[in-house]
Structure formats: C-alpha cells, structure tokens
Amino acid sequence: MTPPSHGGDQGFKSLQGHQQAWLAEIGHDRIQEIENPELAQQRMKEIYKTKGYTNDWIEKRVRGIAIQDELTDEWDKEFAILTAEISKATFELTPYEYKKLKGLEQENLRDHMNDLELIFTMLGEATTTKIALKKDSQGFLGNREAAVEGGTVAGVARKELEHRIREKVVSAENYLQLHNK
C-alpha cells in the first residue's frame, strides 16, 4: 500500500469501489427477486440454513409465513391484536408472554419455536382464516371471534397431544438451543 502522505486517498477510493460493486450486486439480486419471487424465498432458506436450522424446520416456517400472509391480507391493521388472541387460545400465552418464556427480546418468536409449536401456530392461523372466511367475519369484533375460535381449535388439539404424549408442547427453549444440543 502507498504511504499515508499521498496514498491514503487511493486506499479509500479502492474501498469505495468495492462497496459500490457490492451495493450494485445487492441491487441486481433484489431486482431479480422482484422479477422471480422464488429467488427471495431461496435466499431466505439459505439464511436460515446458515443459522443452523434444518430443512424440515425451514419448510414448516415457510408454510407458516404463507398462512400468516393470508391473515395479514384479511385483517390489515388489527393483525397484532388478533394474532395475540389466536396465540392465547392456542398456547394460553400471548406472544409477549411467549417471548418472555423463551428469553427473547427483539428476536422473532417463530424463529425460536420447535416443530410442534410452529405446527400448532399454523393450525390456529389456518383454522382462523377458514372460520373468518366461512362466517364472512366483518370488523374487529367479528374477526376477534374468529381468532378465538381458530385458536381454540388449535388449543384443543395441542392439549389432546399433550395428554397422549404426557409432555408439554410449549417449551422455554428456543429452536437453536434445542438444535445445537
């Protein structure tokens, strides 16, 4: 490298060039993902894999995102309140209480659920979506009723499984802690 007296600018320009090339590559990749959304999903799967998640878990998470998107489309602004109702009826915990149980702060709760927790979350949300559509639920109160009903269906199924396997589905451990044991 050139001495700092007159070569410092050259090193800085080289760094800027690398950053610009990197940003151009990122921009190109995102444009490709807009044209072909499957590329974005593949990138997401690769990120989860890099973090240590199994293919089986990743596929459940991807299905869960699709189900969650259906609810988002249905509910818009009330999404957080209504999904909390589903969680409460499914697991007897609000998302805030669930995150606290798992020792999470800013992390995404679903990224730290085990397989069964994800499955019962999907069941509650998919059932709620079906109930809301069948009943043509309107407004906050109608959707809240559907959320409680859908979560209750998943909660009954969870309790039945817990009874049969003689252990709780809800775990204080997060997925990565379980996976890395």
- Phi/psi at 51 (5° precision): -80, -5
Query: Residue 65 CB: number of other CB atoms within 10 A?
Result: 14
Distance CA 78, CA 131 (A): 17
Please tell me the total number of residues recorded for the chain in this structure: 181
pLDDT reported for residue 179: 61
Q: What is the pTM assigned to this prediction?
A: 0.65
50: which 2 tokens? Answer: 């890099």
Residue type, 89: A
- Phi/psi at 9 (5° precision): -65, -35
pLDDT reported for residue 5: 45
pLDDT reported for residue 28: 72
pLDDT reported for residue 161: 97
pLDDT reported for residue 132: 92
Q: What DSSP character marks residue 131?
A: H
Name residues of the chain where pLDDT drops below 70. Answer: 1-13, 15, 33, 73-74, 76-77, 175-181
Distance CA 94, CA 101 (A): 10
Residue type, 59: E
Query: Which run of H or of E encompasses 129?
Result: helix 115-134
CA-wise closest residue to 40 among 48, 103, 155: 48
At residue 59's C-alpha, the angle toward residues 132 and 168, to 5°, is 70
- Phi/psi at 135 (5° precision): -85, -5
pLDDT reported for residue 65: 83
